[in-house]
Every structure is written in C-alpha cells, then in structure tokens.
A and B are shown apart, each in its own frame.
Chain A
Amino acid sequence: MRTYEVAFIAAPTLAPEELDAFIAQMQTVVESKSGKVVKVDNWGKKSLAYKIKKFRDGHYVIFTIEADGAIIAELERRFRVADHVIRYLSLRIDEDLKRSEKMTAARQRKTVAKPRPEFAPFSEPEAEPPAAPTA
C-alpha cells in the first residue's frame, strides 16, 4: 500500500451534481479494489492560469488515496476516457511525507540535544529613560 495524491480538473460546464456523482464513482472504483480514499478535497471552481481546451476555469478535486499502483492506473484510464476531465496529476507522496517527517524529527532532536548557550549574566546597564516628547 502506498499513499498517492490524485488531482484532476473537471470542465466548468459540468453541473455540481454530476461532479459529485463522478467523485463518488471514483471512490467506489478505489474501494472495489481494496484501496482507501483518505481524503477528498473539493476546491470548487477556480480560474486556470492558462486556457485548457478553451476553458478559462475548472473544478479542482484532490484525492488522497492509500492504494496500489494498479488502482492509480485504473483511475488515470478513467480520467483519460472521461470527456469532462481536462487535466489530471497523480503523485506518490508516501516517501516524500516520510522524508519530511524525518527532517522535522531531526530538527527537533537537534534543538533538544544542543540547547542554545545562555548568555553569561552580566549587570544590565540602566535603561535610559525614554526621551520626553517635545511639546
């Protein structure tokens, strides 16, 4: 099992109900092959940075999925077949997340093991009284 992030952009002409139906359909595809959809992130309609298939905006949806490569291949096949999907991107993120956690842990260890040397106490000079505001 690996963690993937699968994002796609649906055409703006797609009705919200149809989009919901498509998302549900994709979830059943994943679950029917013993995968797990951890998170569905629907950004809603966003404007695109450039035109894709003459569309200026699109519905962004991002899945976080725990599954095997075959399931991702199946999802991508469906994205290619579906006319209303104008762009998709799937990434394997488990290794990146692991590395990121490792870096955070290492950073914490560093701060715990080597605390910053404290300043030698010295008599603090008398604080100057704030200058009286000129009337």
Chain B
Amino acid sequence: MPAPKRFSVKRKRVCKFCAEKISYIDFKDGKLLSHFIPERGKILPRRISGVCSVHQRQLSEAIKRARHMAILPFVAD
C-alpha cells in the first residue's frame, strides 16, 4: 500500500513587493492591500504570502492605516 500522498499547495515564495520593486506601500492603494486580506479581514501571515520581513512590516502598517480610513474593514463577515 503506498504511503498517503502529502497534500501540498504550491504557494508563491517570492515577495510581491520585492518583485515589483515597490519600496513604499501606500495605505491608499486598497486594491493592492486587499490581496493580503483574507475573507475574514485579517492580515495574511507572511509564511503564507511569502512577503519578506521588511515589506511585511510596511504592509501591516499600511493595512492598519487603511482600516482607520475605512478603505479596508476591521472585520469582514
């Protein structure tokens, strides 16, 4: 009997911001930020999104600013 196949999902491992050479993440760009907001409205952890630590810090700050300005929701249901 063969060993059970490990379920694996291919995830992007390249930091999107490094690849696209974005050096300042703007809170006004809701469309860009929404890629890092799962349905529930939380900030996507970088072990899943593959964003580098420098950009993840900028990203989380930008998302929090966008939430304050009602560009992104605090909680989505």
Seen from chain A, the residues whose Cβ lies within 8 Å of a Cβ on chain B are 7, 9, 48-50, 52, 58, 60, 62, 87, 89, 91, 96-97, 99-101, 103-104, 107
Contacts and interface: CB of A to CB of B under 8 A. Distances in A.
B68 A87 contact: yes
A49 B68 contact: no
Given A49-B73, A50-B73, A89 B68 contact: yes
Interface residues of B, dominant DSSP: loop
Contacts of B42: none
Nearest to B68: A89
Nearest to A51: B70
B23 A52 contact: no
A48 B70 contact: yes
B42 to A, nearest CB: 14
B72 interface: yes
